[in-house]
Structure 1
Amino acid sequence: MPQEAPTPSARQNELLEAAYRYALAHGLTDLSLRPLAEAIGSSPRVLLFLFESKDGLLRALLARARADELALLGQAGQTDGPTGLAPAVERVWAWLAAKEHRPLLRLWAEAYTRSLVQPDGAWAGFARATVEDWLGVLAGFQPPAERDSEDGATRRTLALAVLRGALLDLLATNDEKRLTEAVVHQLALLQDDNGLG
């Protein structure tokens, strides 16, 4: 029987939250323990003790970012308005396009890319897990019969491709108006073809 991971201490949670805020502002790729520790009122030695290694800290930060992203994406798709995948994708896009979410989305893009080029260590499996995360969120917006069908899986995969492509373009260009028009246009085409309901 596998052992459960120990429950994080209050200090570990406090430092993780502070490190997460730091990562949102500074990124993860060039993360160095000494500047991080100084910025969050700790020491490299304490961080290594609490997280076991720099990779352990990175894994905790990636898990924290995924949890934040999933909670916010799930909330973004909920409404009292029209239901179904296309209206939810439009609401999720509005959330993704909001300027205040750019730090989290840059962190996601950085980790996603790093996971593809360095598929081991702290980054192992991040890209694949985040694809599965987003597909799971999108499945939650589909009616049960659609969600459980092969066509339903294709529809949410297409919706994810539209969102991801537009998101990467947005992070590169900040051209929110052009991309919002493109996402809305694509969703209308998909609905006309009964691709997203």
Structure 2
Amino acid sequence: MMSSERVDGRTLRFQHRRPELLAAATEYVLDHGVTGLSLRPVAQALGVTHATLLRHFSSKDELIKCVVEKMRTDLFAQVTADRELKEAGSTAELLRITWRRLCEPKEQRQFLLLFETVAGEGWRSGDGGELARSMDDYVDFISGWLRQDGWAPEDASTLATLLLAQIRGLQLDLLVSGDRARADRAFEFALTLLEPRTGPSAP
């Protein structure tokens, strides 16, 4: 039996449609962050009962885990299916397109959530869960492009890791300082790491 909390059309719409509820919850978390997050305000904002939210997500931690997983799978699916990225002529061009998009306010919310989550959890167990898997996804993706540009597999993985670290760090700097011009210059400087290797590695 449903609780005595107010039930509206959205409650009924979401009751058996977890993907839609998760999508709405993801937008809420991206807008509000995870510090002090409570399921009752989330449920109220989504127009569902607390009981409905708990039926799909057993706890706040479970909701956050599912949100991060959705962000990871959605973003990676977008990146790998994007026509402009597929047609990039080099790794540097691919990263320039990606950087430009990541600097859009809507996309920056993901970095805010990343930094907030890492700061709050501290990965005491040494396992970053979905966040760690997300890093692996992008290291592999960029490594593939670097290998096409002539980098040896081990060097490609190392360089991809370094470039991702640069992007994350510069996004943090941009979020704090708001100085887009400086962040852009630093990003272009980071891309000079790609310049020395123009052909296949020497045997």
Corresponding position of 1:30: 36
Cα displacement (A) at 1:77? 6.9
| Cα distance change, pair 192–89 in 1 and its aligned pair in 2 (3 A) | same
Cα displacement (A) at 1:33? 0.8
Corresponding position of 1:5: none
Matched, 1:173 2:177: yes
Larger Rg: 2
Amino acid aligned to 2:87: D
Distance 1:47 1:101 in 2: 26
Uncovered stretches (5+) of structure 1, i.e. residues with no partner: 1-8
Q: What secondary structure, in the 3-state scheme, does the structure 1 residue paired with 2:36 have?
A: coil
- Alignment match of 2:142 (pick from 134, 138, 160): 138
Q: What secondary structure, in the 3-state scheme, does the structure 2 residue paired with 1:141 have?
A: helix
Corresponding position of 1:95: 101
CA contact (8 A) 1:139 1:156 kept: yes
CA contact (8 A) 1:115 1:126 kept: no
Give the length in aligned residue pairs. 186
Distance 2:61 2:156 in 1: 37
Backbone CA RMSD of aligned residues: 3.0
Amino acid aligned to 1:194: R
Uncovered stretches (5+) of structure 2, i.e. residues with no partner: 1-14
Distance 2:176 2:199 in 1: 27
Cα displacement (A) at 1:62? 1.3
Q: Which has the higher contact order (CA 8 A, sep 6+)?
A: 1
Name the TM-score, length of structure 1 as normaliser: 0.79
List aligned pairs for 1:1-197, cutoff 5 A. Answer: 10-74=16-80, 75=82, 78-83=85-90, 85-117=91-123, 119=125, 125-143=129-147, 146=150, 149-187=153-191, 189-194=192-197
Cα displacement (A) at 1:154? 1.7
Distance 2:83 2:179 in 1: 21
